[in-house]
Chains A and B, each alone.
Chain A
Amino acid sequence: MKIVVQEAPFDFGAEAQAFSDAAKGAGAVVTFTGVVREADAGAMAVMEIEHYPGMTEKALEKIAAEAMTRWSLTDALVIHRHGRLVPGDQIMMVATAARHRVAAFEAAEYLMDYLKSRAPFWKKEILDDGAAAWVDAKDEDEDALSRW
């Protein structure tokens, strides 16, 4: 299990390959990557991601450890960036390895649902004209936790 919180970009291809190479005994590896999308209204120039150093790592480790146990994963990886990102940048990735694909897919969805609402990150959108707004948490993101 590996948790990485960093400002720098990550190499998705290299991370996915290394994770898969190390996943001995697994029959399934699932990866998910989150990408900064354009804001709904207007042109977003920058997305700033703030986090709570210390608590972020603890929260991600707790979420990943729960997924490891619940789906008997052989390995799990979470990488999440912070700082200034622009549309098209990769924000984060998760990878899960399990003996069978259903467990790997479900665990990846669980990781995503929980790290959206339980890991201390906050997004701020800055538009081309300089206007800035914090992204509101969505009710459906909180509701998504109830299915687990």
Chain B
Amino acid sequence: MDVMYFAWVRERVGLPKEKVETSAATVAELIEELKSREDRYAAAFADLSALRVALDQELSDFDAPLEGVREVAFFPPMTGG
């Protein structure tokens, strides 16, 4: 699946988008997988209360299932307007 990062999450991870092969069942499991890869992911996902997730461009939750999901995006709370 495509995993996307925005704002300071993108800066900490060091890239805007990547393909990830995963068997994670939920967003939370995917985050644990990413965190165990490298320090930059651990830094980006250190505080989940400061993060939001979208699945296929709809806001979702960390306990949401990933089955059938093509695009996961992580970003801080939005500041539009």
B-binding residues in A (CB < 8 A): 34, 50, 52, 54-55, 58, 80, 91-92, 112, 115-124, 134-137, 142
Does B7 touch A at the CB level, under 8 Å? yes
Given the complex of chains A and B, what is the CA–CA distance between A50 and B6 in angstroms? 8
Residues in chain A near residue B54, CB distance under 8 A: 52, 55, 120
Does B77 touch A at the CB level, under 8 Å? yes
CB pair A122–B79 under 8 Å, yes or no, is: yes
* Interface size of B as a range: 10 to 19
Residues in chain B near residue A123, CB distance under 8 A: 79
CB pair B6–A119 under 8 Å, yes or no, is: no
Q: Interface majority SS on A: helix, strand, loop or mixed?
A: mixed
Residues in chain A near residue B76, CB distance under 8 A: 122, 134, 137
Given the complex of chains A and B, what is the CA–CA distance between A80 and B78 in angstroms? 14
Given the complex of chains A and B, what is the CA–CA distance between A137 and B7 in angstroms? 12
CB pair A52–B57 under 8 Å, yes or no, is: yes
The one of B7, B58, B73, B77 in contact with A117, judged by C-beta atoms closer than 8 angstroms, is B77
